[in-house]
């Protein structure tokens, strides 16, 4: 069971970091961001402490609302869609 006892800023930039979702085991967070400078959303994953940010999608569409596959999976199940 994950117990949250405080708050820590995990991202710090001038663009959107949106649609975060914890991994089933609480060790990682998948999210969408516009941080790659081409203006559309991409999907990223990071450790629960904000380290180890890894970009998972690379395209010109808005990739958003990522979700995790069922308990025990080791990587996010990605679902892409257009953000209005
Ligand atoms: Ca994209």
Cα of 4 vs centre of ligand 1, distance in Å, is: 31
Q: How confident is the model at residue 5 (pLDDT cuts 50, 70, 90)?
A: confident
Cα of 22 vs centre of ligand 1, distance in Å, is: 21
Maximum CA extent, the chain: 38
Cα of 47 vs centre of ligand 1, distance in Å, is: 21
More confident residue, 3 or 78: 3
Question: For all residues of the chain together, what is the average pLDDT?
Answer: 84
Who contacts 53 (Cβ-Cβ below 8 Å, separation ≥6)?
44, 45, 46
Residue 70 confidence (pLDDT) above 80: no
Question: pTM here?
Answer: 0.79
Task: Please tell me the distance from the alpha carbon of residue 61 to that of residue 84, in angstroms, as a whole number.
Answer: 12
Q: Which residues surround ligand 1, an ion (CB under 5 A)?
A: 40, 42, 59, 61, 63
Tokens of 53: 């940010």
């Amino acid at each position: 069971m994950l117990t949250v006892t405080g708050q820590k800023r995990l991202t710090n930039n001038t663009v959107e970091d949106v649609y975060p979702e914890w991994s089933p085991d609480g060790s990682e967070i998948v999210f969408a961001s516009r941080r790659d400078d081409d203006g559309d959303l991409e999907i990223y994953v990071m450790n629960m402490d904000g380290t180890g940010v890894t970009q998972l999608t690379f395209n010109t569409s808005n990739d958003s609302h990522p979700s995790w596959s069922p308990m025990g999976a080791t990587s996010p199940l990605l679902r892409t869609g257009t953000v209005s």
